[in-house]
Structure formats: structure tokens, C-alpha cells
Amino acid sequence: MKKAKLLLSLSSVALLAGLTGCSVKGAEYTAGNPVKVGLICLHDNESTYDANFINALNDAVKNLGKDKVVFEENCLLTGVAESQDCYDACKDLVKKGCNVVFADSFGHQEFLLKAAKEWPTVQFCHATGTNAKTADLSNYHNAFASIYEGRFLAGYAAGLRLALDHWTLHPTEEFPETKVGYVGAFTYAEVVSGYTSWFLGVRAALTDSGFDPEKLTMDVQFTGSWYDQKEEASAADALIKKGAVLVSQHADSMGAPGTCETAGIPNVTYNVETGDKCPNTYLAYSRINWAPYYENVVNSMFAGKSAFDGEKNHNWTGTINTNSVQYNVNWDVLVKNAPAEGKAMTIASAKAQFAVAESFVKTYGAQVIFNTAAFTLSKTAYAEAIAAGTLELDADGHVTKYLADTDGDYKGDTNVIVPANSTLGGGYFNESAECSAPYFDLRIEGINLLNEKY
């Protein structure tokens, strides 16, 4: 994807602080006219996360055409802290006549909501946030995508690499105890949902390959930052030294992939394909494609609709089937040194196996990925929740009830476990159905958190 050239730093954000709400009037939008958009990013496009938003908006503008949308250079504000700076950035964009303002980081939400209350004629759209449901404003929205679908499939590809390696190196031996690693930013539900779906994907591939999934464990090392190349590199190094033979990440720099390339450890990335910089270890990636959401918002406004298409409780969730979740498998690295024939598992059979998993995810989504028959919970973590009645387990330790936080108040409010049915033989955790942001925060067996201070 072509790198965006539109960048504007807020290093002089103090100048914006002088603006007052009463002196800035939000532009009235009339249906059928080009929609003027603004974008607020936590970092610039050196961050793979923020670059993903910037590139997608440029793609959406190109797809929509100038008759529907206007995106000017000075309406992209980067380096906007999760502070009053975000509110000041909203003021600036409103002053510039933007009809809709997008923001990309969780910590922006309080300030974006404040702006939405002040300028009711402007639409404010917040990615990864959780408070639009309770705010219940017609001009304030949350959006995310079911990225767990892409992470699961990227994990499935990683599991195939482990299976193929085993058939190549140890064809007559039992599958050994194996450890993978994951670099996480924080212990938020978004990260927990991501590393759990990835791990379940790895494990599913081993199961489908005829191996014992309980032989697989995963260590998670947190960095305490969404974007810190030094810490991410250090976390990946720590995981490798503890025995991880394959590493993935939910972090926004090249720190972890670069460390894996140096160490010769296969790596699964997020938001960015690293085949050019990590030609020997880049295995797969997944990302949220924000272009469909941008296009949906603009098209809904252009058509004069009172709400954006597909919203529920002011929340919008893209899926793999809306092209909001994307992924890629680097088969050249995945099948490196793998047997082409004469073994129980070959390159051709691995690709066929992945295609079946891909089809199931596209058809069933969370029903496959978070099927409650596929995992049990950590034995010691949930005594209080069980006593309070917010969590229930069956005799085998599988979840039958869980009250998740679906409105951002850090309290369980909605049972998100769908009961077992005849289709797939188990109940499932219905992730991102009640609000767009992930709320899967269960700790499952097989995953070890090395540091939980964040």
C-alpha cells in the first residue's frame, strides 16, 4: 500500500489551545455535497498502527472520488496525545470546516466525546472506543473490526509451520512440548482478545494436523506502550530466550519483527507485511482495513441517512466479509524445508488445510474461533466472578455464562456466551457483537503472562 504523504505535526498544539468553543461553529452538512473529513492520529506514519489508518483514508478518498469526499493536507493531525490536545485538535478540524472527524486511539475517546457534545452538527467517529453506546449521541460513534478473525487465521498459518517443521525434522517422533511467544502492549481486552484468538489459531492447526494441542503453550510479554521499538525488541528477545520458537505481536513498531529476523525466529506481524525487511522470518500478518468504514460513513452522510449503515447502539463492527479484516500468508517462508511428498503432511495438504479453516472462519466467525469447547479457563483466576454469578462453567471447565463489559464502565453487563447448537457442537463467546471494541478478557489455560504490571 502506498505510503501517505499527508502529515501535519501538532508540535505547536499550544497555539490551538487558544481557540475557544464559543468562537468556533461546526459546519452544517447538506446531503449530496462532498463530505470534508479530518483524521486525528496518536503517532505519525512511522507507527505501523497509525500508518494503517492514514493509508486507508487515502485509499477511501481515492475510491469515493472528489464528488463525495474532501481530505486536505491540513486535516490530518498526527502526534496528538491522549489528552486535552485531542480536544484542541477537534476544535482545529471543526474550524477548518470538517463535517466528520475520525480519531484512532483508545485514549482519545473522552476528548472526542466532549467535542461531540459541543459541536452537534459535526460527526465524531472513534476507533477502538467503548463509550458511544452509553453516550447515545446521534453524532458520536465507535468503530472496530473483528480482527480476531484475521489473527486466528494468521495463527493457524503459524501452527501449520510448526506442523511442517515437525514432519521435516522429526518425522518418526511424537510432537514435542512447544512454546510460542507474543509481544503485547497492555493487558486490555483488545490485546487479550488478540493474543487468545492467535493462540487458538495455532492450536487449531496442530489439532487439525493430528497433534496434541496441549503440547503447545504461549508466553506473553507486555511492553506498557502501543509504540516503543526498544521495548518491543526487548520483549521479543526475552520470549526467544525463554524458548519461544515462533513469535507474534500486538505492538506498532518493527522492534519485534527485526529481533526475530536477527534471531532466525519465524514472526507473525500486525498491520504491516515485513517481507522486504524480514525476508527469512516473515510468516503472516493481519490488519484492520479501515477503508470500508470510512467509505460507509461518507456514503451514509452523502445519502442523508440519520445513522451509518450497519450500526448497532452507535457501534460499527467490520468483518472479514466486509473486507475490514485482511491477512496474508507468506507461503515461501511457511513451507521452507517442508516435505513436498512422501509424508503424512505435505505442502499441498497444508495449503488445503488452511483453505478449509479460512472457509469456516468466513462462514462462522466467532462461532469457530471462540468456541467454548476449544478452551478452558486458568484454574485460579475466576473465583470471585464465579461467586458473584458473573461467570459460570460446566463440569468440564468450559464457559457457559460470562457477563462482559460492553459499555465501557468496567463492569460486566451482558451475557455474551451463545449456548451450544447442533452446527458446530459447542457454545461460543460472541465477541464484538454487543459493541465494536473487543471485550474478550478471559484468561485461558496454556497462556502464561510473564508480566502483568500494565
At 239, which amino acid appears? L
Residue 426, pLDDT score: 74
Residue 338, pLDDT score: 75
Residues 330 and 322: their CA atoms lie apart, in Å, by 23
Residues 352 and 149: their CA atoms lie apart, in Å, by 18
Residues 143 and 318: their CA atoms lie apart, in Å, by 8
List, in sequence order, every beta strand (DSSP E) within 261-398: 267-270, 282-288, 315-318, 325-329, 391-393
Residues 451 and 224: their CA atoms lie apart, in Å, by 10
List, in sequence order, every beta strand (DSSP E) within 354-452: 391-393, 399-404, 414-415, 417-418, 428-429, 447-449
pTM above 0.85, yes or no: yes
Cell readout for 352 is: 488445503
- CA 436 to centroid of chain Cα atoms: 11
Give the count of beta carbons closer than 10 Å to the beta carbon of residue 31.
11
Residues 351 and 110: their CA atoms lie apart, in Å, by 45
Contact 334, 161 (CB under 8 A): yes
At 333, which amino acid appears? V
Residues 299 and 364: their CA atoms lie apart, in Å, by 28
Residues 399 and 385: their CA atoms lie apart, in Å, by 12
Cell readout for 317 is: 463492527
For the chain, domains (ranges, CATH) are 14-145+290-320 (3.40.50.2300), 147-287+325-369 (3.40.50.2300), 371-430 (no CATH)
In the chain, which residues have pLDDT < 70?
1-22, 337, 339, 342, 422-425, 453-454
Contact 233, 267 (CB under 8 A): no
Of residues 416, 368, 441, 378, the one with CA closest to residue 153: 368
Residues 294 and 88: their CA atoms lie apart, in Å, by 22
Residue 223, pLDDT score: 95
SS3 279: coil
Cell readout for 286 is: 493481519
Q: What are 42-65's pLDDT values in tens digits?
A: 999 989 899 999 999 999 999 999
